[in-house]
Amino acid sequence: MIKIIIMEWKNMYCDRIELKRKQMLDFAEKYGFTAEITVKCSQELDKLLNCFQMNSEE
């Protein structure tokens, strides 16, 4: 049961990461890579990736 919950959590997190990545790329295409909105989205993506990595190692 715990393995199923962990797998569901990982899948959910991967979905969030992918959505944020797509959003960042859309912002970059529309506003440029150095635009504030793109950089902020990139930082949010970094946080998601770091959290996923930290929790995956346990």
**Which pLDDT value is given to residue 7?**
83
Burial 34-49 (b: 16+ CB within 10 A, else e): eeeebbebbeebeebe
**pTM score, two decimals?**
0.85
Confidence bin at 58 (pLDDT 50/70/90): low
Residue 54 CA, distance from chain mean position: 13
**Which pLDDT value is given to residue 37?**
98
- CB–CB of 29/35 below 8 Å? no
pLDDT in tens, 23-53: 999 999 999 999 999 999 999 999 999 999 9
